Amino acid sequence: MLTKEYRIAMPLTVEEYQIGQLYMIARHSLEQSQGGEGVEVVENRECTEDEENMDDNQKMFLKQRESHKKGQYTEKRIHLSSRLPYWLQAVTPRVFYVIEKSWNFYPYTITEYTCSFLPKFRVEIYTKFEDNSGTSENVFNVPEDEYPQIAVDHIDIAFDEIQPKHFKEDEDPKTFKSVKTNRGPLIEGWRITDKPLMCSYKLVHASFEVWGFQTKVEDFIHKCIREVLLLGHRQAFTWVDQWYDMNLEAVREYEKQLQEETNQKVLNDIPEPDSCEVKIETPQKDVSEID
């Protein structure tokens, strides 16, 4: 298992980001779903910190909260067959999805990813939001002898390089200026000088315990997660004028509407599986050549 901690500073408050996060996830899911691939929402309901589908570590993390109000549980299927690296496409069924389970007790959240076809695959993300620039140490209370071994990665939403295919000029924090909040553009040193500031702290465990694949796959998983975190937080900020006037009730209604649209886009185009048998083909590239 490879564990890393990501810290993503944002020119927002924790209270503001609760709305921005929900808006961003719903809109991003809709934009990324087409042709039978994307995000299918299976379940979205209220939950408590003692859910039967949570393990002991997850429950213990949530019990750190001062407020014990109900949270929101969401289960999704992420259909992504053609988006996998080529070597993995060669050994997966044509209809393939990852299961995402999320427990949102803002400002604490837990998200896990599993796949029945790949039982050794598991990603677990613990998140805590704080009103600072990412200066708190060991917010997840990792044992003192283990914490120094965890790499801490500070993600800069303005100046970290994003893949060209994801770049949009109107989603560039270096040039974006918010009309409603008067925040931006973000210049060098903004994580020190700008106010307000908050930080998403994320402890990410990535596990793929298959001999010969483990190291490269776990590295690949973290590379993908970092890119998603960078893109998502850039969008949450540069879309601020669209969500800033929403309250929690309004953004939940928006979320519900977009989830219905997203499900329709994904489910209408999912192909029927050819059979229950999985055909394993010989990859044309070495397994070390991860796309």
Strands 2-10 and 151-155 come out as: parallel
The Cα 291–Cα 87 span in angstroms is 8
The Cα 76–Cα 98 span in angstroms is 8
pLDDT for position 118: 78
* Domain assignments of the chain as residue spans, ordered by start: 2-267
Which positions of the chain have pLDDT values less than 50?
273-291
- The structure tokens listed for 257 are 């509407």
Neighbouring C-beta atoms of residue 264, cutoff 10 Å: 12
pLDDT for position 9: 98
pLDDT for position 32: 82
Nearest Cα residue to 237 out of 126, 155, 164: 155
Nearest Cα residue to 34 out of 272, 271, 267, 266: 266
pTM higher than 0.85? yes
Which pLDDT tens digit goes with each residue over 116-149? 777 889 999 999 999 999 999 999 999 999 999 9
pLDDT for position 194: 96
pLDDT for position 274: 44
The Cα 6–Cα 9 span in angstroms is 10
Which pLDDT tens digit goes with each residue over 47-71? 998 888 999 999 999 988 888 889 9
User: Residue 87: which H helix or E strand, with range?
Assistant: helix 86-89
pLDDT for position 277: 37
pLDDT for position 269: 62
pLDDT for position 86: 55
Per-position DSSP letters for 218-261, written without gaps between them? HHHHHHHHHHHHHHHHHHHHHTHHHHTT--HHHHHHHHHHHHHH
CA 37 to chain centre: 17
Tell me if 195 sits within 8 A of 213, measured CB to CB: no
The Cα 128–Cα 105 span in angstroms is 10
**Superfamily classification of domain 2-267:** START domain (3.30.530.20)
Nearest Cα residue to 100 out of 58, 50, 43, 61: 43
